Amino acid sequence: MDKIIEVRGLSKSYGTVQAVKNIDFYVETGKLFAFLGPNGAGKTTTINIICTLLDQDKGDVVLDGCALGRDNQKIRDRIGIVFQESVLDPLLTVKENLLTRGSIYGLSAKVVEANAAKAMKVTMIEDLALRRYGTLSGGQRRRTDIARALIHRPKILFLDEPTTGLDPQTRKSVWNMIEELRREEGMTIFLTTHYMEEAEKADYVIVIDDGEIAARGTPAELKDKYSTDALEIKPIDRSKALNTLKDAGIACSEQADLILVTLSSTVDALPILALLEGNIASFQVLNGTMDDAFIGITGKEIRA
């Protein structure tokens, strides 16, 4: 296992607000890493510190062998950042935006031109090269934002809520592009998102809450630990079904014409279904979701 980012004992306060409290974590090379938390949890603060945009109070960060504080320029050369808000010039064309950005990395004009062509190809915006950024749609802008972050061929791409505000179809196409970048370029992706179905695709998830790490694991591990499955039954005779469950000592709740039984695991549904045999109009086993896990971990919805 190769760690491309290592964060140790990181802390940051703004006056009396302790935004990040002594956190430790690492990110493995080439993986999709999701950094989740409710509003105000400390995500942006942590990312800004790792990306050299903000000084920490305490703690160490090592990124691809470069120490934060000592090798900040080398860190900047290795990372691309897509911010929540666009930072491109609306009056310049897509290509001009990319070339202008590329020129600040001290690369030759020829290399910048080649990198811009590659970035536009990967993000599928070649046909937009001569369009002014300000005239693009939301999805086209997001692709261009990502192309801009790729102009110096970074090893790690930081994506701060990359699909917020996009319609579902555009979200899907931007997301497919992100997955392709990782698969084909072996890029490490550091993602924050409020969409749990996106976090579900991550190789590893850290949940931060109130400046502290509240949980860590793969999406499957987190769902397993922090969410529960449920058996949803539509009975033929509702009061009879409720009595059967009560007599068997099985706790349940009611929702409209449905009866819900919380399960420790999906197979626990079998004896309950056997018990109610002949009195079931329909049923389904509902698996715990990342949304449930997030609420289980933080006690909060992902969006405040």
* Binding positions for ligand ATP, 250-279, rule CB under 6 A: none
- Tokens representing 189 are 């992706």
Question: From CA 304, how far away is CA 298, in angstroms rounded?
Answer: 12
- Quick one: which of 23, 41, 191, 205 contacts ligand ATP (CB under 6 A)? 41
**Closer to ligand ATP by Cβ: residue 207 or 230:** 207
CB 28 → ligand ATP: shortest distance, Å?
22
Examine residue 37 and tell whether it contacts ligand ATP (CB under 6 A): yes
162 touches ligand ATP (CB under 6 A): no
**How many residues in the shown chain lie near ligand ATP by CB under 6 A?**
11
14 binds ligand ATP (CB under 6 A): yes
CB of 288 to ligand ATP, least distance (A): 23
Residue 148 interacts with ligand ATP (CB under 6 A)?
Answer: no
CA dihedral 241, 286, 228, 295 (to 10 degrees): -120
DSSP secondary structure string for all residues of 66-114: EETTTSHHHHHHHEEEE-SS--S-TTSBHHHHHHHHHHTTT--HHHHHH
Please select the residue that binds ligand ATP; options are 27, 33, 34, 45, rule is CB under 6 A: 45
- Asked whether the beta carbons of 194 and 303 are under 8 A apart, the reply is yes
Collapse the DSSP code of 241 into the 3-class scheme (helix H, G, I; strand E, B; otherwise coil) and give the result. helix
Min dist CB 17 to ligand ATP, Å, is: 5
Is 165 near ligand ATP (CB under 6 A)?
Answer: no
In b/e form, how buried is each residue of 70-106, taking b as 16+ CB within 10 angstroms?
ebeeebbbbbbbbbeebebeeeebbbbbbbebbeeee
Contacts with ligand ATP, residue ranges (CB under 6 A): 14, 17, 19, 37, 39-45
